[in-house]
Amino acid sequence: MKFTKMQGIGNDYVYINCFEESVEDPAELSKKVSDRHFGIGSDGLILICPSKVADCRMRMFNADGSESPMCGNGIRCVGKYVFDHHLVEKTEFDVETAAGIKHLKVTEEDGKAVLLTVDMGIPEVTSQVSEPICVNGTDYEFIGISMGNPHAVYYMDDIDSLDLEAIGPGFEHHKRFPERTNSEFIQVVSPEHIRMRVWERGSGETWACGTGATASAVASALCGRTGNTVKVSLKGGNLTIHWDREGSGHVFMTGPAVEVFAGELDINNL
């Protein structure tokens, strides 16, 4: 089976072109290819599929095999793949996801996509602003935002000192979130800039999360910590998030996507 390894600011996935390939059990395949010792190594698996309602369809699986409806960094990489490999022949197109159809706009150089802007849709507030919660015996406050998948945004004075490997599972599996949640830990630098670490449900700490950055930008604007346009700095790089709060209500995410390498996978030996 042919595959492509891609990353969006360090959020790395294995991509399968299902216009040409067929995957019988993507959940199990995701667990195997994500293993960084016995597989390829990734935060999960993304399938690029034909669609009856858009230019292509994306299915995203976490490293533990669970399927998520949306992935912000992943969809930028899908956009780069279909543009660079001529599955679409235009700089604006639509991608079907389980969280709805997302519109993408490509910034190209020498015929390759280098930056992609994604219309992430209208955010949904799923908590109080802010809501108290006790995790691992410590009191916090969070703002819940859905971007088609669930997020809980927490504000900290120093995110670098957090031991996410130790505390992350407690946030993900808290009883307040019966379907688990992605957790974003935010340090506000200025009204135009925030820093973020993320614990993703099903994958643990990752270098970036596009939907998480979007949710965090919306939460920060809602509680008056930032304006409606903000740079979000993650372990793997920066994203620009703009919330058209007074207009359409949609949120737009702009960032890079990179094809790292391509190869062939012997799935019988995984």
Q: Answer whether 2-118 and 124-254 agree in fold.
A: yes
Residue 209 a catalytic site member: yes
Contacts of 93 (CB under 8 A, 6+ apart): 54, 55, 56, 79, 82, 83, 103, 104
pLDDT at 270 over 90: no
pLDDT tens figures, 4-43: 999 999 999 999 999 999 999 999 999 999 999 999 999 9
Give the position of tokens 């993650």: 234
pLDDT at 245 over 90: yes
Residue 18 a catalytic site member: no
pLDDT of residue 48: 98
Kindly name the residue from 71, 77, 134, 223 that is annotated as catalytic: 71
pLDDT tens figures, 167-187: 999 999 999 999 999 999 999
Categorize the per-residue pLDDT at 268 as very low, low, confident or very high, splitting at 50, 70 and 90. Answer: confident
Q: Delimit the domains of the chain by residue range.
A: 2-118, 124-254
62 among the known binding-site residues? yes
228 among the known binding-site residues? no
Superfamily the domain 124-254 falls into:
Diaminopimelate Epimerase; Chain A, domain 1 (3.10.310.10)
Kindly name the residue from 49, 56, 209, 223 that is annotated as catalytic: 209
More confident residue, 262 or 202: 262
- Phi, psi of 32, rounded to the nearest 5 degrees: -75, -45
Measured CA distances, 269 to 17, 36, 174 (Å): 20, 15, 37
pLDDT of residue 60: 96
211 among the known binding-site residues? yes
% the chain with pLDDT above 90: 96
pLDDT tens figures, 64-74: 999 999 999 99
Domain 2-118 sits in CATH at 3.10.310.10
Compute the mean pLDDT over every residue in the chain, rounded to the nearest whole number. Answer: 96
pLDDT of residue 202: 87
